[in-house]
Structure 1
Amino acid sequence: MNLDRETFYIDGTWAAPATDAVLEVVSPHSEEVVARVPAGSRADIDTAVAAARRAFDEGPWPRMTPEERIEVVATFSALYAARLGDMAEVISTEMGSPITFSNLAQSPAPWMQVEAFLGIARGFPWEATRPGALGGDVLVRHEPVGVVAAIPPWNVPQFTVMSKVVPALLAGCTVVVKPAPESPLDCYLMAELFAEAGLPPGVVNFVAAGREVGERLVAHPGVDKVAFTGSTAAGRRIGAVCGEQLKRCSLELGGKSAAIVLDDADLDAVVEGLKFVGFMNSGQACVAQTRVLVSRSRHDEVADALGEMAAALVVGDPLEEATEIGPMVAQRQQERVRGYIGTGQSEGARLVAGGDGMPEGLDRGWYVRPTVFAGVDNGMRIAREEIFGPVLSVIGYDDVEDAVRIANDSDYGLAGTVWTADQDAGLDVARRVRTGTYGVNTYTMDFAAPFGGFKASGIGREFGPEGLAQYTELKSVYLTVPDLG
Structure 2
Amino acid sequence: MTTMQHTVSPVDGSVYVSRELATQPEIQRTLDNAQRAQKSWAATALTERQAICSKAVDWFEAHKDEIGQELTWQMGRPIRYTAGEVGGLAERARYMIEASDQALAPLTLPEKPGFTRYIKREPVGVAFVIAPWNYPYLTAVNAIVPALLAGNSVVLKHSAQTPLCAERFVEAFKAAGLPDGVFQYLHLSHDDTQSIIQSDDVNYVAFTGSVQGGAHVERAAAGRFIGVGLELGGKDPAYVREDADLDVAVETTIDGAFFNAGQSCCGIERIYVHHSIYDAFVDKAVALVNQYQLGRPDDPDTTLGPVVRTGAADFVRGQIQDAVAQGAIAHIDEAHFPASESGTPYLAPQVLTNVDHSMRVMNEESFGPVVGIMRVDSDALAIDLMNDSDFGLTASIFTNDIPTGVALGEQLETGTFFINRCDYLDPALAWTGVKQSGRGCTLSQLGFDAFTRPKSFHIKQL
Q: TM-score, normalised by structure 2?
A: 0.94
Letter in 2 for 1:385: E
Cα distance in 2 for partners of 1:393, 1:133 equals 60
TM-aligned CA distance change 1:210 to 1:313, over 3 Å: farther
Does residue 450 in structure 1 map to residue 442 in structure 2?
no
Does residue 86 in structure 1 map to residue 85 in structure 2?
no
Does residue 274 in structure 1 map to residue 256 in structure 2?
no
TM-aligned CA distance change 1:361 to 1:201, over 3 Å: closer
Q: CA deviation at 1:27?
A: 1.5
The equivalent position to 1:101 in structure 2, one of 71, 75, 81, is 81
Cα distance in 2 for partners of 1:227, 1:322 equals 36
TM-aligned CA distance change 1:404 to 1:140, over 3 Å: same
- In percent, how many aligned pairs have the same letter? 29
Does residue 216 in structure 1 map to residue 198 in structure 2?
no
Does residue 468 in structure 1 map to residue 448 in structure 2?
yes
Structure 2 gap ranges (5+): none
5 Å matches for 1:81-480?
81-104=61-84, 106-131=85-110, 136-353=115-332, 359-361=337-339, 365-443=344-422, 444-480=424-460
1:27 is matched with 9
Cα distance in 1 for partners of 2:329, 2:24 equals 49
Letter in 2 for 1:80: F
Q: CA deviation at 1:266?
A: 2.6
Cα distance in 2 for partners of 1:88, 1:438 equals 30
Whether contact under 8 Å (2:290, 2:336) holds in the other structure is no
Cα distance in 2 for partners of 1:405, 1:111 equals 38
The equivalent position to 2:54 in structure 1, one of 49, 74, 82, is 74
Cα distance in 1 for partners of 2:333, 2:458 equals 65
Whether contact under 8 Å (1:180, 1:210) holds in the other structure is no
Cα distance in 2 for partners of 1:53, 1:147 equals 7
Q: Deviations over 1:325-345 (max 9, x none)?
A: 111111221221212112222
Q: CA deviation at 1:445?
A: 1.2
TM-aligned CA distance change 1:310 to 1:212, over 3 Å: farther
Q: CA deviation at 1:354?
A: 5.0
Letter in 1 for 2:227: R
TM-aligned CA distance change 1:83 to 1:239, over 3 Å: same
RMSD between superposed Cα atoms in Å: 2.1
Q: CA deviation at 1:224?
A: 0.6
Q: Deviations over 1:305-340 (max 9, x none)?
A: 322222221111112222221111112212212121
Whether contact under 8 Å (2:11, 2:306) holds in the other structure is yes
Whether contact under 8 Å (1:354, 1:372) holds in the other structure is no
Cα distance in 2 for partners of 1:176, 1:383 equals 37
Cα distance in 1 for partners of 2:8, 2:123 equals 38
Cα distance in 2 for partners of 1:267, 1:354 equals 24
Q: CA deviation at 1:118?
A: 0.8
Secondary structure of 1:298's counterpart equals: helix
**Farther off after superposition, 340-349 or 451-460:** 340-349
Q: Deviations over 1:351-375 (max 9, x none)?
A: 12256x9941455851111011101
TM-aligned CA distance change 1:39 to 1:360, over 3 Å: same
Q: CA deviation at 1:472?
A: 0.4
Cα distance in 2 for partners of 1:103, 1:464 equals 24
Letter in 2 for 1:473: R
Q: CA deviation at 1:211?
A: 2.9
Whether contact under 8 Å (1:359, 1:367) holds in the other structure is no
Corresponding residue pairs, total: 460
Whether contact under 8 Å (1:100, 1:321) holds in the other structure is yes
Q: CA deviation at 1:257?
A: 0.7
Cα distance in 1 for partners of 2:2, 2:262 equals 35
Q: Deviations over 1:387-431 (max 9, x none)?
A: 100110112222001101111111111012111222222222222
Q: Deviations over 1:253-289 (max 9, x none)?
A: 1000101010122322222112221112110000011
Whether contact under 8 Å (2:104, 2:448) holds in the other structure is no
Letter in 2 for 1:169: L
Letter in 2 for 1:269: V
The equivalent position to 2:19 in structure 1, one of 37, 48, 60, is 37
**Farther off after superposition, 423-432 or 86-95:** 423-432
Q: CA deviation at 1:209?
A: 2.4
Cα distance in 2 for partners of 1:362, 1:333 equals 14
Q: Deviations over 1:192-240 (max 9, x none)?
A: 1111111112101111223333222222221110001001111122123
Cα distance in 1 for partners of 2:114, 2:287 equals 69
TM-aligned CA distance change 1:340 to 1:133, over 3 Å: farther
Q: CA deviation at 1:30?
A: 0.8
Q: CA deviation at 1:49?
A: 1.6
Structure 1 gap ranges (5+): 1-18
Cα distance in 1 for partners of 2:25, 2:205 equals 19
Whether contact under 8 Å (2:293, 2:337) holds in the other structure is no
**Farther off after superposition, 372-381 or 424-433:** 424-433
Secondary structure of 1:249's counterpart equals: strand
Q: TM-score, normalised by structure 1?
A: 0.90
Cα distance in 1 for partners of 2:112, 2:337 equals 68
Cα distance in 2 for partners of 1:281, 1:325 equals 7
Q: CA deviation at 1:248?
A: 0.6
Q: CA deviation at 1:31?
A: 0.8
